[in-house]
């Protein structure tokens, strides 16, 4: 079930489907990023994803590796999209540790990435 939830999660991000994302997240889920070492709430994360969709097109994840863990899924991928303002494509490698609670909700994500590719493309 964990892998199906993760597939659904990334499909919702690609589609910009914030309603499905909210449904997949546990209400008190936390999203942590290595680039700022801060934890984000679900609401803050959804705002970021909504903003990303306003600035890029063709957002997609190319999965490099996905491994099931006892409490979730580890995924290595490359996020690809095109900046709407600069018409510039970018690719950002990342790795996510996705923790899934007993109710099949995402309760925590630890995201490891280098945002410089996105920053360069978006300006």
Whole-prediction pTM value?
Answer: 0.92
User: What spatial distance separates the first Cα and last Cα of the chain, rounded to whole Å?
Assistant: 39
pLDDT at 117: 73
Q: What percent of the chain has pLDDT over 70?
A: 98
pLDDT tens for 2-42 read 889 999 999 999 999 999 999 999 999 999 999 999 999 99
Q: Where are the domains of the chain?
A: 2-122
- The closest alpha carbon to 89, from 97, 78, 81, belongs to 81
pLDDT at 121: 66
At residue 51, does pLDDT exceed 90? Answer: yes
The class (CATH top level) of 2-122 is: alpha beta
């Amino acid at each position: 079930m964990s892998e199906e939830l993760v597939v659904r999660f990334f499909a919702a991000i690609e589609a910009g489907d914030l309603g499905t994302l909210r449904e997949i997240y546990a209400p008190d889920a936390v999203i942590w990023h290595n680039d700022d070492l801060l934890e984000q709430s679900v609401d803050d994360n959804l705002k970021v994803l909504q903003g990303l969709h306003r600035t890029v097109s063709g957002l997609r994840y190319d999965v490099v590796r996905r491994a099931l863990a006892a409490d979730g899924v580890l995924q290595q991928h490359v996020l690809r999209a095109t900046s709407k303002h600069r018409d510039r494509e970018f690719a950002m490698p990342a790795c996510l540790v996705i923790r899934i609670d007993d109710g099949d909700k995402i309760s925590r994500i630890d995201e490891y990435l280098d945002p410089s590719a996105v920053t360069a493309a978006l300006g």
